[in-house]
Amino acid sequence: MKWKKFMIETTVEAEDILISTLYDIGLEGAQIEDKVPLTEQEKEQMFVDILPEGPADDGVAILSFFVEETPDGKLLLQGEPADTQVILDKVREELDALREFMDIGTGTITLDETMDIDWINNWKQYFHQFTIDDLLIIPSWEEVGEADRDKKILHIDPGTAFGTGMHETTQLCIRQLRKYITRETRLLDVGTGSGILSIVSLMYGIREAKGTDLDPCTVDAVSDNMTANGISPDQFELIIGNIVTDQEVREQVGYGCYDIVVANILADVLVPLTPVIVDHLKPGGVYITSGIIDEKEETVKEAITGAGLHVLEVTCQGEWVSITAQKENV
């Protein structure tokens, strides 16, 4: 199947109205590329597998629309055949109309053609099985090789919730968890995402895990990944809500009852989270953090020590940092 790609250069401010305007003529499903920094709410929700901060916002946005192309070279617009030039003329007409009352930037239109876009499965080419020490992480569409059958095997697919184990921050957390978990460990996983950290810990024998996350998408993701890895529902409870600001969530989680709290979150979220987490740790409990870009290491350390925790170790992978700390044993 062929697709025609219409790329329009515009401004960040014009994104929404341009998408709405072109939607009215049949162009749907816009892909937006810009350099706008994450909002505080978005940062709060980006709990795992965090990417580094991008380049400075230059106010430019690229909007891409994909239109199916038939074998005879026609395009299908809202299910009806349409000529490429006709669509181009319509787009230019709408852009000219918008220019009358707002800045839409250059409004440059670029055409490209792409083959066989499978919106559900296209990403599979980028995710393949890999190992973290003796743990094999494998997606559902690949087979376990004979040489790997003696490894611990985690079955997980990329999906709507963050966390496949590929990112350095997740790997740092997994390695730290394996140092400190025991068969009696009760784990709290803040920003659980796909559930990978809790599921791996349960696979290695901890007693039970509880997770919190802001995103309702994690409910299905965690359930699917638990089923794929033979984790019983009574071993892992997920709570949707903000443990930092929601007292009801904190009470559901429970106070002073966790041997380990793990949080693979942006540094800007770890700072307000840390003094809250102290109340949920047992005396002597361990706090494992990651999602910390190296330049934010000291900021998170200050939050950890300021909350009365003692730093046990700092580990690094690439430009990412994990800080492990402990609550005083009284």
Three-state SS for 12? coil
- pLDDT (0 to 100) of residue 123: 57
DSSP at 195: S
Distance (Å, whole) CA 191 – CA 81: 46
Question: Can you list the positions of beta strands (E) in the chain?
Answer: 2-11, 31-33, 60-69, 75-77, 80-82, 109-115, 130-132, 135-138, 152-155, 186-190, 208-213, 236-240, 258-264, 281-293, 310-317, 320-326
Handedness of CA 180, 185, 190, 194 (dihedral sign): positive
- pLDDT (0 to 100) of residue 128: 79
Distance (Å, whole) CA 229 – CA 141: 15
DSSP at 83: -
| Residue 130, both tokens | 């890999």
- pLDDT (0 to 100) of residue 2: 74
pLDDT of the chain, 330 residues: tens digit per residue: 677 888 999 998 888 888 878 887 878 767 888 776 655 544 444 444 444 555 667 888 999 888 877 777 778 776 778 888 888 998 999 999 899 888 999 999 998 877 655 555 655 666 778 888 889 888 888 888 888 888 889 888 776 556 777 788 899 999 999 999 999 999 999 999 889 999 999 999 999 999 999 888 788 889 999 999 999 999 999 999 999 999 999 999 999 999 999 999 888 889 999 999 999 999 999 999 998 888 899 999 999 999 999 999 999 998 899 999 999 987
For residue 64, the one-letter residue type is S
